[in-house]
Amino acid sequence: MQQRGAAGSRGCALFPLLGVLFFQGVYIVFSLEIRADAHVRGYVGEKIKLKCTFKSTSDVTDKLTIDWTYRPPSSSRTVSIFHYQSFQYPTTAGTFRDRISWVGNVYKGDASISISNPTIKDNGTFSCAVKNPPDVHHNIPMTELTVTERGFGTMLSSVALLSILVFVPSALVVALLLVRMGRKAAGLKKRSRSGYKKSSIEVSDDTDQEEEEACMARLCVRCAECLDSDYEETY
């Protein structure tokens, strides 16, 4: 579908929300619209998802194709890393061999893929192209991927969060134990001064309280042991 623009109009402009391309005085209405994240950040060794969605005016058929390409930084050469047509065809050569996985669903307009075990060498530009005949005219969104090492600050924040989750409850338990022990000591001191003797029921209650306090103390020790083990695994 084409519509002639105003006389004397020149240049090229893209209106992605409308799916319209204005090129050399001609409006080209896209029957297929594709969206992708402009920038994606990931970390070495942690799976990364490259999201791509599309909207087509035609029903999805077995003729629908999806192609993902990759262009390294400071290079004009692009390489195919994934192809889809009824089945998944990830690349079997190059640096992305055995690392590209299909995570999309064409019937939901999802053409996303993921990269496992990413490295800094994977930095670059990825593009997602979808064709669903007769809908073949579309924009080509590009995603800039930046992979970095997790810094000490990120690891430290994780340890700090774990410490909060473990130490705060433990501190509350210890505080409650100290309060109860203080009250108990004050009561015993007062009773000893007045020559008070405990009944058999009170003796039984004191035994139960001592067992509860011992159990809570063991819980605190266990929490501290868990924190130490998690801290060692982090580093």
Q: Which of 122, 139, 121 is nearest to 130 (CA)?
A: 139
The Cα-based distances of 58 to 63, 66, 68, 106 in angstroms read: 11, 15, 21, 12
Cα–Cα distance between 46 and 42 in angstroms, integer? 7
Find the length of the chain. Answer: 235
Here the tokens at position 133 are 């005949």
Give the per-residue pLDDT at 11: 38
Give the per-residue pLDDT at 9: 35
pTM over 0.75: no
> 24 — alpha (psi -120 to 50), left (phi > 0) or beta?
left
Q: What are the structural domain ranges in the chain?
A: 27-150
List the single range of 20-29, 170-179, 182-191, 210-219 with lowest mean pLDDT: 20-29
- Chain centroid to Cα 49, Å, comes to 9
Pairing of strands 39-43, 142-148: parallel
Give the per-residue pLDDT at 5: 39
| Superfamily designation of domain 27-150 | Immunoglobulins (2.60.40.10)
Q: How confident is the model at residue 10 (pLDDT cuts 50, 70, 90)?
A: very low
